[in-house]
């Protein structure tokens, strides 16, 4: 095959521009990304070799080597994983396959700092090499292909890349970084070892580097022929909790989530019994940009006996917990398990229940913590993910009560309008004789707060929860009661304040109704096509009139939402 030149996909060009112009503050992450790709490639080889052991050729020990060539100023990350065919190199290194790329690009603001954060979340992956290199050469050969079917991919990371055939006896990939002027620190073995220790210690493969000795005559370090393992090379979740530091947990999270920030909380357990598995689950601090994409379920990686099986195993968690990241390593599932089998497996059902319980416990622990800082973390969590968690009330019947306790709402009790009030808080403040929990659903906080329907509740000092999320109407249709108190919308029917209204008031109300009967009749006649009924009400204090919907009818707010959605 002759040398051919290809153009990068437009999004890649944009991404490359961004990488080289705004990721300067945290250069060293390129090594984490490239080692992580090497590790993924080895995972893929191990998986494909389950069906085809010849893929191991004569190199069954999967590993990553980091090589320095001071003379040529190159740094190479070498793996003996799955490798790439010519077409794969063109596709995988010239385009971004991930869905949502376009959407992601659209969100870039042009503000370098913000974009750098966003990009951290998106994961620049391979292209991060261009932070420190002005040219990258990739030499690769896919497992199973002949030595002559290797490929060399070269690009300076601007508009295009070149591809040509090479002979590569060893399987796998070399990523050769030609370092930019001024990036010589990445030729220092000491520096590289320290970066690997920081970011890649938990990688389950050995990462090897050549030993160096000080040559007093030449007065420089010279490379020996012996290699040693720089990392611990045991998958993080297989180690016992006691020997894992918070930092290591955080780094592992950043690697699997592509998040630039650490997680809010994590839980790590070995579960034995009906189904045997290890779970390491994280709750992120920030919602990803595609949290509303309900098709993109599951941030959990599935391993079986430490063999990587799949990313985004959506069967392992319900969709309302799709923000959770982590790893599940099962001891029971077959290695050739497919997504279809997962959906039906009883072991998976047990894992799913177990993971759900753990995540809820993590959240409860934050929400009910004695430490105010933890409770604040829960408040922050709620702002990011509360709307998603609400979906669970309708979807997860078994955990509905636990979920109800985790809900937070804005309320007339707290003028800030922040969603901080739990149903339990509300119940603890109910007035003597009050049975129901009063709520109002509206499309904005201002509209809810200023609703004339609240006047009587304000006057009597009865708290009303202000529901302003899009999902709230739907939530109300699934959550009728909390600890024996029914949730009552103040915008529906004739609100019966029952025992909360004293005899005196009732009598007066009846008198007034009698007095205004002729007026009501006239209004009723003239509004007959537009209102079902006109009546005298005690619910208003200052406003002359308000609209309400009948009991059991679609609320005004929901009607507006449906109209917006074109229904
Ligand atoms: P991601 O790892 O999230 O898929 P990257 O930009 O890091 O995105 O890598 C893009 C793709 O390039 C990978 O999905 C993989 O197909 C391919 N790739 C990158 N590095 C390697 C490697 N060392 N061996 C085999 N394939 C690789
Ligand atoms: Mg990657």
- 207-215 β-sheet, strand order: 4-7, 160-166, 150-155, 133-141, 172-179, 74-79, 64-69, 207-215, 220-229
Neighbours of ion ligand 2 (CB under 5 A): 37, 125
Q: In this predicted structure, which of 84-93, 274-283, 381-390, 516-525 has the lowest mean pLDDT?
A: 516-525
At residue 407, the pLDDT reads: 97
* pLDDT for residue 40 is more than 80: yes
pLDDT at 121 over 60: no
pLDDT-derived band at 198 (thresholds 50, 70, 90) equals confident
Q: Which residues are annotated as a binding site for ATP?
A: 33, 37, 79, 84, 98-100, 121-126, 173, 339
Among 47-51, 373-377, 383-387, where is mean pLDDT lowest? 47-51
The string of pLDDT tens digits covering residues 57-114 is 999 999 999 999 999 999 999 999 999 999 999 999 998 866 555 666 666 666 766 6
pLDDT level of residue 2 (50, 70, 90 thresholds): confident
pLDDT greater than 90 at residue 460:
no
| DSSP code for 335 | T
Nearest CA to ligand 1 atom 17: 92
- More confident position, 21 or 114: 21
User: What integer pLDDT is reported at residue 57 of this predicted model?
Assistant: 93
- Share the mean pLDDT of the chain: 87
Q: Mean per-residue pLDDT for 314-333?
A: 93
Model confidence at 26, pLDDT cuts 50, 70, 90, reads confident
Comparing CA positions, the residue from 566, 546, 562 lying closest to residue 554 is 562
5: enclosing H helix or E strand = strand 4-7
- Rounded Cα distance between 26 and 37, Å, is 19
CA distances in angstroms from 463 to 252, 389, 451, listed in the order given? 45, 24, 14
> Facing residues of 74 across strands?
69, 178
Least confident of 77-86, 213-222, 501-510: 501-510
In this predicted structure, what is the pLDDT of residue 511?
A: 77
Residue nearest ligand 1's atom 23 by CA = 38
User: Among 107-111, 251-255, 333-337, 539-543, which range has the highest average pLDDT?
Assistant: 251-255
Ligand 1 near 92 CB (within 6 A) = yes
Ligand 1 contact via 81 beta carbon (within 6 Å): yes
- 39 C-beta closer than 6 A to ligand 1: no
Q: What is the pLDDT of residue 530?
A: 75
Strand ranges (E), 431-516: 437-441, 465-467, 481-482, 485-489
* Mean local confidence (pLDDT), 205-214: 92
pLDDT at residue 129 in the model? 95
DSSP-derived 3-state class of residue 299: strand
Residue 41 Cβ < 6 Å to ligand 1: yes
pLDDT for the residue 19: 80
| pLDDT tens digits, one per residue of 252-307 | 998 888 788 899 999 999 999 888 999 999 999 988 777 776 666 668 999 888 87
**Model pLDDT, residue 103:** 65
Q: What is the rounded average pLDDT of the residues 144-163?
A: 96
Percentage of residues of the chain with pLDDT beyond 70: 86
Confidence category of residue 564, pLDDT binned at 50, 70, 90 = low
């Amino acid at each position: 095959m002759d040398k051919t030149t290809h153009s990068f996909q437009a999004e890649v060009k944009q991404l490359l521009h961004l990488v080289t112009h705004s990721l300067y503050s945290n250069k060293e992450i390129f090594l984490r990304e490239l080692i992580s790709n090497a590790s993924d490639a080895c995972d893929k080889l191990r998986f494909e070799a389950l069906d085809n052991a010849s893929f191991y050729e004569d190199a069954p020990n999967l590993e990553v080597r980091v090589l320095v060539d001071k003379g040529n100023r190159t740094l190479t990350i070498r793996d003996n994983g799955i490798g790439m065919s010519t077409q794969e190199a063109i596709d995988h290194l010239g385009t971004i396959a991930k869905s949502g790329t376009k959407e992601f690009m659209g969100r870039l603001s042009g503000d370098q700092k913000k974009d750098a954060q966003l990009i951290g979340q998106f994961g620049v992956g391979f292209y991060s090499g261009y932070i420190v290199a002005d040219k990258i050469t990739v030499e690769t050969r896919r497992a199973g292909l002949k030595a002559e079917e290797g490929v060399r991919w070269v690009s300076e990371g601007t508009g295009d890349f070149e591809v040509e055939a090479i002979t590569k006896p060893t399987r796998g990939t070399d990523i050769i970084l030609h370092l930019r002027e001024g990036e010589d620190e990445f030729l220092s073995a000491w520096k590289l070892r320290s970066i690997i220790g920081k970011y890649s210690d938990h990688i389950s493969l050995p990462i090897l580097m050549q030993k160096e000795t000080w040559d007093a005559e030449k007065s420089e370090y010279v490379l020996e022929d012996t290699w040693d393992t720089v990392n611990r090379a045991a998958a993080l979740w297989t180690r016992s909790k006691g020997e894992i530091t918070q930092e290591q947990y955080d780094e592992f999270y950043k690697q699997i989530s592509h998040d630039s920030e650490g997680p809010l909380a994590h839980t790590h357990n070995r579960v034995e019994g009906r189904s045997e598995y290890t779970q390491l689950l994280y709750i992120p601090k920030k919602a990803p940009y595609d949290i509303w994409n309900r098709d993109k379920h599951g941030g959990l990686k599935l391993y079986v006996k430490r063999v990587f099986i799949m990313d985004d195993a959506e069967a392992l968690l319900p969709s309302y917990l799709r923000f959770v990241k982590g790893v599940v390593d099962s001891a029971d599932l077959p290695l050739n398990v497919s997504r279809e089998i997962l959906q039906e497996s009883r072991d998976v059902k047990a894992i799913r229940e177990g993971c759900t319980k753990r995540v809820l416990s993590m959240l409860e622990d934050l929400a009910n913590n004695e430490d105010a800082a933890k409770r604040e973390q829960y408040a922050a969590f709620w702002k990011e993910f509360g709307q998603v968690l609400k979906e669970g009330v309708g979807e997860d019947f078994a955990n509905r009560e636990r979920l109800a306790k985790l809900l937070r709402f804005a309320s007339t009790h707290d003028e800030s309008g922040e969603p901080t009030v739990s149903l339990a808080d509300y119940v603890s403040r109910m007035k003597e004789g009050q049975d129901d929990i009063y709520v109002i659903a509206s499309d904005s906080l201002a509209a809810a707060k200023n609703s004339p329907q609240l006047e009587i509740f304000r006057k009597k000092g009865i708290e009303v929860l202000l529901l302003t999320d899009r999902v709230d109407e739907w939530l109300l249709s699934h959550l009728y009661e909390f600890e024996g108190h029914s949730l009552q919308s103040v915008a529906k029917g004739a609100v019966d304040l029952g025992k909360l209204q004293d005899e005196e008031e009732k009598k007066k109300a009846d008198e007034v109704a009698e007095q205004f009967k002729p007026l009501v009749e006239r209004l009723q006649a003239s509004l007959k096509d537009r209102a079902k009924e006109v009546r005298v009400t005690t619910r208003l204090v200052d406003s002359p009139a308000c609209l309400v919907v009948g009991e059991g009818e679609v609320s005004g707010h929901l009607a507006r939402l449906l109209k917006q959605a074109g229904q």
